[in-house]
Structure 1
Amino acid sequence: MFIPFCTNSQVLETRQSDQKKILTAALEVKFLGFSETYVSEVTCERPSYVQAVASSDALFRHLTALWQFAPHGGSPSTHCNLAFHLEFEFASPLHAQLANAFFDQINDLMITAFEKRCKEIYGLPAPDSCTSPDTPDGE
């Protein structure tokens, strides 16, 4: 597992709808001695986006995570722009307090893990077409 604090995942169902692949998955997360499992519906529309929506359960009142991919203007075949939107509300006030206290650190860990996983799968990023080796700022 490459996602921090996610210790187990299990795909419960997979279905295809038009250009979309939809998965129902159970995810187990552990943080500071707490262990919880929740179910999420993950919709993938390649190459545009991945959206995960958690069912209302004991852990979340709601959770929506959206990763949107768009071609990078300068070199669309080797780069992309990524927008990430996360909206959630924990069901438990204790979980909410922990998340608020560690939000910045958790966010940094998530971004670092995502970048590391991309490098493992796709290799190092292509050189930025806006800069040259002689002028790091592209001037």
Structure 2
Amino acid sequence: MSTPIRGMLRTLRPTSAFRTIAPSTQRTFITLPGSEPQILTEKRILPYKSSSLYSLIADVDSYSTFVPYCTSSVVTKWSAPDSTGNKWPAEANLTVGWAGVEETFTSKLLCVPGTIVEALGGDAATSIPESKVPHHSETYHKSASANSIFQSLNTRWSLKPFHYKPPSGQPQTDKTEHDAREQTEVNLVIEFQFANPLYTALSKAVAPQVAPKMIEAFELRARKLLDGPGAGQVNNKTSFGHAFDAAKKLGA
């Protein structure tokens, strides 16, 4: 057989049905963002005593009446008495909901009287030294309850007196701080990580608005209770006083 014919036959030979496919990068049609930790912060200067504002923040039972996305809030456990004899929320069942998703979970609470209220969920850990919350010794080392929405959630309210330098016609040469007119700096920090990337996608547009909405709602509540009718009663017996009554009913 001539050489040209042999070459033609080689060309017409069937090739193997099994081929080695070179590896390639595959992409899915929809890529959900990862459940990365997120931090939201907001700060306000409010014209009220820090003790009055702290009483409102520590009144966890009332969160469902003013905190956005919180539909139910019930304190289920109280701390031991602190150095002044007061008890503080130690655990609460909170229900949050948005975009048709609703979840109830148990939140671990730590209260540094007068300055900090911290709520922990999932595997979130506190940075508050145990020495600052001896009244929470029973639950301090206890892990917060897991839930299906948040892998971790840490919501911290902190207060401190706001000092200012009064304006004058001439620049002030010293660094003297003068007492504020009963003003308080309120800081809100929310650190969270969703348990499911789907929740991250659903909350993408909502999440940045959470902290501003929460602190705005708190400011409106402060105005209502501390400026409105009966404000003097709130100062003398704050709404947190009703929490003590609830604690007695629970046998805390």
Q: Distance in 2 between matches of 1:110 and 1:48?
A: 18
Superposition deviation, residue 47 in structure 1: 0.9
Superposition deviation, residue 77 in structure 1: 6.0
- Please list every run of 5 or more consecutive structure 2 residues that lacks an aligned counterpart in the other structure: 1-64, 122-144, 165-178, 229-252
Q: Which residue of 1 aligns with 2:203?
A: 99
Number of aligned residue pairs: 124
Distance 1:22 1:77, change over 3 A: farther
Q: Which has the larger radius of gyration?
A: 2
1:2 pairs with 49, 58, 66, which one?
66
Judge conservation of contact 1:16–1:22 (CA < 8 Å) in 2.
Answer: no
User: RMSD across aligned C-alpha pairs, in angstroms?
Assistant: 2.0
Query: Which structure dedicates a bigger proportion of its chain to helix?
Result: 2
Q: Which residue of 2 aligns with 1:133?
A: none
Q: Which residue of 1 aligns with 2:183?
A: 79
- Give the TM-score, by structure 2 length: 0.45
Distance 1:76 1:42, change over 3 A: farther
Percentage identity across paired residues of the two chains:
31
Q: Distance in 2 between matches of 1:121 and 1:46?
A: 20
Q: Distance in 1 between matches of 2:99 and 2:220?
A: 23
2:218 pairs with 114, 117, 127, which one?
114
Q: Secondary structure at the match of 1:4?
A: coil
- Give the TM-score, by structure 1 length: 0.78
Higher relative contact order (CA 8 A, sep 6+): 2
Judge conservation of contact 1:26–1:37 (CA < 8 Å) in 2.
Answer: yes
Structure 2 residue 149 is matched with structure 1 residue 59: yes
Superposition deviation, residue 87 in structure 1: 0.5
Q: List structure 1 runs of 4+ shifted beyond 3 angstroms.
A: 17-20, 74-77
Q: Which residue of 2 aligns with 1:16?
A: 80
The code of the aligned residue for 2:206 comes to: F
- Please list every run of 5 or more consecutive structure 1 residues that lacks an aligned counterpart in the other structure: 125-139
Superposition deviation, residue 98 in structure 1: 1.9
Superposition deviation, residue 40 in structure 1: 0.5
Distance 1:59 1:17, change over 3 A: farther
Query: Which structure dedicates a bigger proportion of its chain to strand?
Result: 1
Superposition deviation, residue 89 in structure 1: 0.6
Q: Distance in 2 between matches of 1:68 and 1:107?
A: 13
Q: Distance in 2 between matches of 1:17 and 1:76?
A: 31
Q: Which residue of 2 aligns with 1:48?
A: 115
